[in-house]
A = this chain, B = another copy of it.
Amino acid sequence: MDGIQPTPDASELPVLDISTLSTFKFERVLSEMIWPATETLIKKYTAQERVMVRETEEAFKRIVVPYIESFDANKLDWLYAIIQGKKEVERVLYRDEDTNEGFLIVPDLKWDQTSMNALYLTVIVKTDTIRCLRDLTTAHLPMLRNVRAKVFETVQAKFGVAKNKLRLFVHYHPSYYHFHVHVVHIYHEALAGMMAGQAHLLDDLISLLELSPSPPEKSILARMTLTYALGVEHPLYACFLKAGEEFV
């Protein structure tokens, strides 16, 4: 734990109550204090052993799906409150209300909205039927292309940043299993979350879906083996270990 202690009962707090108390820059040093800190947050920010994992289609079905389904459905209430317009209404930059193909564009809490090179937005789709990139099919192509187009328009209009300065990507694994897209300025300092394996460019996903057969046949994204670095304290890694030697 390296001297970091969790706030008592912090695990009971909903995610949106977590406050970034202080962020200050000193030349090239950026410091951030997060309070209260949950066990999950401490694990995220503590250096831990990592290993490369190769997740086959079979491993997704046998290990990852039960892992995703084990989450308490209420855990995403904070997200649905944003989607339904009950919270953070004033922060939303763009909103497409279509039930099946709609989405919201929201600035990430990490971004101060003034340094354009650090621009960081999140696109949250309205449908709750896409847990992660493995669930994407050719049927989602119009929505994904529309997300790309509206991000480009919105960022140009609101922040004057051209579309060829933006990197749009999806995390695998994501921090929550409701499909969302990260939008980051290409001059943003390299983050671990943008590394090959952790980040999948939205353009790559669109291209692979365009080359995929339509449902009921499985897409390339459903069938391919996905390889990524995983912290050994990540609860998913315990599931891999439990599943047996052929998976790790």
CB contact list, A2-53 vs B, under 8 A: 50-53
Are A52 and B186 within 8 A (Cβ)? yes
Q: Does A224 contact B (CB under 8 A)?
A: yes
Instruction: Provide the A222-244 mask, 1 if CB < 8 A to any CB of B, else 0.
Output: 01111101000000000000000
The segment from A64-72, A91-99, A124-132, A188-196 that touches chain B is: A188-196
Report how many copies the assembly holds.
2
Are B203 and A195 within 8 A (Cβ)? no
Q: Does A77 contact B (CB under 8 A)?
A: no
Q: Does A61 contact B (CB under 8 A)?
A: no
One of B51, B190, B196, B206 near A201 (C-beta < 8 A): B196
Known pairs A52-B186, A229-B167; A223 contacts B195 (CB<8 A):
no
Instruction: Provide the A165-177 mask, 1 if CB < 8 A to any CB of B, else 0.
Output: 1110100000000
A12 to chain B, nearest CB (A): 34
Are A203 and B227 within 8 A (Cβ)? yes
- CA of A204 to CA of B52, assembled, Å: 13
Report chain B residues within 8 Å CB of A169.
Answer: 196
Q: List 11 A-B contacts (CB under 8 A).
A: A51-B186, A52-B167, A164-B248, A190-B190, A190-B195, A196-B199, A196-B201, A203-B225, A203-B227, A207-B225, A207-B227
Instruction: Point out residues on A near B: beta carbons under 8 Å.
Output: 50-54, 163-167, 169, 186-187, 190-192, 194-201, 203-204, 206-208, 211, 220, 223-227, 229, 248
